[in-house]
Structure 1
Amino acid sequence: MRVKVNDVMTREVVSVNGSTPFKDIAEILIAHAVSAVPVVDAEGHVIGVVSEADLLRKEEFREQFYREGYLPPLRARLRDRMTREGHSAREKALGDTAAELMAAPAVTITPGDSAVEAARRMEEHGVKRLPVVDEDEILLGIVSRRDLVKVFVRQDGDIAREVLEEILDRLWVETDEVRVKVEHGIVTLSGFVPRRSDAEIATRMVQRVDGVVDVIDDMEWKEDDTPKWAGR
């Protein structure tokens, strides 16, 4: 069974509104030990996200403009040219409220999306957490990288049972002679299957099980039915 965002997300999440002042945002991040908070409107719709990076930008440009000879790091200079949402980073550095500092629109996810999709979206957008919203973009919770790591913290016995009951027992190929061993999330498949392609299918399916770190294919087959390359 694939883990959904709903299974790992944090439901009690702190948020701010567009008028929340800079200082209050900083205090909220520190008090709750988080690196970013969603910005919501009066109805609870997520309109953006404000992060530590957004607050630090103000300090970066303060140093740039008021310390003689100061040269900010390359990353800050690139942001100065153009931020992701198309506004000058220098203008954002002058912001005093969440609405002026936030990244918008927010990158969000729904409870029904898979944990894998959440991880891909974080990687694609370079963020560490995603607001979880319903179909109306109303805030339901938040999912972080740490939440997604929990997917891999599964007992070996639970993984073995899922491989046997949800994968091998439901495949259309003969797997009665396949044995499953799981140690620290690494699954070893051994025994016999009728065809080499059956072993490859089983391996690929097991790799998709949540909590599986790696799959070792030690299965033997009676018929090699995989395509041969020309001249092989």
Structure 2
Amino acid sequence: MTSTRYTVDDVMTKAVVTVTPDTEFKKIADTMERWKVTALPVVEDGDHVVGVVSEADLLPKEEFHDHPPGMIDTMHRLGDTAKAGSVRAEELMSSPAIVISPGVSLPQAARLMATRRIKRLPVVDADGRLKGIVSRADLLKVFLRPDDDLAAEIRREAVDRIFPRSHRDVKVSVTWGAATLTGRVPDTTLIPVTARLALAVEGIVSVDCRLEGPQPA
């Protein structure tokens, strides 16, 4: 038995608002405002993701609205100045889109977002079809798990497994995601393993392992 591993599929938003490559600028802006989102997957041919258009992609049009980009802007910000004159999603979007699979673990998703400096990822199946979208906020949902559930999982996946005969001598408490383990165990060499298993439970913020060895004779 292993500790529950949450994946992108467990936390992603499955009802996703999308646009197509030929969606015009004003419609994109209107859709973002209506649905209170900051980015939209661009799909075609049966929900295949071909790109992502975000608020950042729309901003150059406003930035250069009062004055056309000069030579220096054009040289140093070629992408932005090009987008300032764009009118459809296919011209504005970032492509190819950085996507992720539903079965990817939450730590892997977090690392990808951090590495690529992005706030959200379209979730696609093996054929590249859109299944949902996962954001930074979604990855934090596991930290909203009730403390009682977390304590029960630590006991089941850590304490009961490592100390099957003496597990009743170990007390597990969780407050605001912070776990505390107290009690006496027969083998002190297994205490670090227990602490690691407890910390591996999704939603646990920290572990204070105060387990001790047998009472001296």
Q: Report the TM range for the smaller structure's normalisation.
A: 0.7 to 0.9
Describe the SS at the equivalent of 1:28: helix
* Matching residue of 1:212: 204
TM-score by length of 1: 0.81
- Equivalent pairs, count: 209
- 1:174/1:194 contact within 8 Å kept: no
**Number of the residue aligned with 1:101:** 92
User: What is aligned with 1:34?
Assistant: 37
* 1:203 alignment partner, one of 160, 182, 195: 195
**Aligned match of 2:154 in 136, 155, 163?**
163
Offset at 1:126?
1.6
Aligned equivalent of 2:114: 123
**Aligned equivalents of 1:9, 1:191: Cα separation in 2:** 38
Residues 17-55 of structure 1: CA distance to partner in whole angstroms, max 9, x if unpaired?
111111100000000000101011122111110001110
Q: 1:59 aligns with which of 32, 57, 62?
A: 62
The correspondence of residues 187-202 of structure 1 with structure 2, limited to 5 A, is 187-202=179-194
Query: In the alignment, which residue of structure 1 is the partner of 2:47?
Result: 44
Query: Partner letter of residue 120 of structure 2?
Result: R
Give the aligned partner of residue 229 of structure 1: none
| SS of structure 2 residue aligned to 1:95 | coil
- In 2, distance between residues paired with 1:63 and 1:167? 62
User: Structure 1 stretches of 5 or more lacking a match?
Assistant: 72-76, 223-232
The 10-residue stretch of structure 1 (56-65 or 33-42) with the greater mean CA deviation from structure 2:
56-65
Query: Which runs of 5 or more residues in structure 2 are unaligned?
Result: none
CA gap 1:173/1:89 in 2 versus in 1, 3 angstroms: farther
Aligned counterparts of 2:118 and 2:171: Cα–Cα separation in 1: 40
Q: Which amino acid aligns with 1:121?
A: L
Superposed CA RMSD:
2.4
Query: How much identity, in percent, do the aligned residues show?
Result: 44
Query: How big is each residue's C-alpha offset from its partner over 1:180-210, in whole Å with a ceiling of 9 and x where there is no partner?
Result: 1111111001112344441111111111111
AA matched with 1:127? I
Shift of the 93–194 alpha-carbon distance from structure 1 to 2, 3 Å rule, reads farther
- Find the aligned partners of 1:23 and 1:80 in 2 and give their Cα distance: 27
Deviation sequence 1:144-193 (CA, Å, 0-9, x none): 22222221111111001111112222337876232211111110011123
Deviations 1:76-96 (A, max 9, x none): x7x9736xxxx6332232221
| Number of the residue aligned with 2:13 | 10
1:19 aligns with 2:22: yes
Provide the residue aligned with 1:91 in structure 2. 82
Residue 142 of structure 2 aligns to a residue in which SS? helix
- In the alignment, is the contact (CA less than 8 A) between 2:25 and 2:87 conserved in 1? yes
TM-score (norm 2): 0.86
Contact 1:80 1:88 (8 Å CA) reproduced = no
**Distance across 1 between alignment mates of 2:165 and 2:63:** 63
Cα distance, 1:204–1:175 mapped onto 2, change above 3 Å: farther
Q: Match for 1:104: what amino acid? A: S
CA contact (8 A) 1:80 1:89 kept: no
Structure 1 residue 99: deviation in Å?
A: 0.7
